[in-house]
Structure 1
């Protein structure tokens, strides 16, 4: 499966919410295994009961089975097991005999225990379904905030991967955006500190500010200053509502088509450059504090210039890549793995990286993953719509030049 919005494909055409609810309701043990095991347990308990005689009655212990099945089974499975246990327990009690009140109390206890097991199963599935809806809603919100990839502008082609983790307590705030502006193409990739829906809110505040400032601000540092103000305002509002303040690591790039790229790094991971059979880290020597923490630093954010030759791929990513772990707890060795694929195109590179990450981590992810692979735009290909007013501005300039 392609990497663009990996988690959008959820089974046979199911939406994220439908897939989450179906997963919550799906049986964890097949009917054959469940009822085969039930028959075996029943046979063993009945035989032991017959062997122990009247001194020790073991069949009444079967009433705990519906409660155990309610932990992992479906409602139908739990009802089936409870019905079977009631038949066995009641039949056994009638066969062994006793006073009317002994038999009656035993039957009532068996029926009550079975109904409690079914009720516990229904409550578990209801709770699991609600959690699945919350997780799916959070991930759907992330997908709506972030635009589909690839994105093509006059300066660059940006392919990418976005794979959100679908756990309510772990869902993160990874963000990316590519904006075509009068000053070239502006790109951001970032990671909000913390997890949960509040992190998504902070990420949305940054993206909204970036989409506006990328078109309005002539300088890249002006764009970053606008992002800093947006995070500060968001934190001020969060403090009023009892939420914790958050910071955002971000790498902001500007491409103007002259073979170089501007970069302002706000505490984010440095990118990697793949060019001429070599994959290497891009040295960023003027890294500043993350967005939302400018008041803690006396140094203003500055722009660095990086070479970006034709045919090179600039790879940007969040820490969901570098902090992926294998079964032994070792971190993913990104640089050594990229050394295997320096000549791959952006799409093939992302596919190879995804497969290798899945194999390395055993499919277990602890954080969102966002990756952008950017190349200079070839001479042909579709373009993003011009920002509002840009076409009129270019027409006015052309008219003035006559």
Structure 2
């Protein structure tokens, strides 16, 4: 099978790149091994939250002090200023509405009751503009009986630090009795499927209104709108006070919905999405990758003019570490880091900035992958498989995925 572009990896980075290319008429395929980090989505996309451990108010300004090998610096700050405007528009075209500004972080309420600085927040969730206060003084924290993935006491303790009077209340509804009998079935996605049918929204809203009398705001777990993105808005319209949704333990309902809508957008544009398939190797001729082999396709090679590696970092096995070595598993690409000396991978203090988190596939200035010190002419790299950043410490993971993917797509479209 022959394509213009083949993308290895079906997460946020791969889908962003694929949509951008498909919108410009490219015949694209994405090979995805399965679930991506979007399924762990907290409701917000970070651009840059911290530099050297200090909170960043203006991400675009904060990027100026990043190291020269950081993905943002390598994309170029002028390009970043343009791409941060393009990324939300691409998401909107996929049916995902986000709000936020690249030059001013806002805050999102986390499951730990902490205000976390972030860039873009999906419309299910509330945005806050102060990290030391809460807009309401009396909050009802409501949860479904038997739902163990929403830790109400953490939220309660966090809000108490803001001087908020809170009360936790659990409630039951007969529609959830069947899944409540088995704790493994009382998960956010199963609750969301019940709401997707639309038959209990009125009853649920009535119950919430009754339980929240005397309070200024209602706090609920984000378990609405798995396949029907209008459910959250319908529920908010029927509850007679403000509603703040807080992420539950993954799998994330808004995350799965985001993955579904991004994939749908890609396929509607003519893209081919190979789900549940692993890339096992590739054929390189004259310093070009001409085809890849996958587990599901056997002897059938997938050919393309250009390839994009968006396979993710350690979590997605885009990079693998053993006791002896650290490597890129598909083609054996060069790694930017101390790959041979495992003692240099880690800092003995667990919460310190771990060196291995900065490791990734080495590329040239055009983001072409390096192998044996030379760039492969038609293999580009995007997303968290790139080196040069500790996305966890910086709060930059989603921004790197979105913006490097758009930048790489632009290189291919020139």
Give 1 or 2: higher helix fraction.
1
Q: Same fold by TM (over 0.5)?
A: no
TM-score, normalising length from structure 2?
0.21
Instruction: Choose 1 or 2 for highest CA Rg.
Output: 1
Instruction: Report the TM-score when normalising by structure 1.
Output: 0.22
Quick one: higher RCO (CA 8 Å, sep 6+), 1 or 2? 2
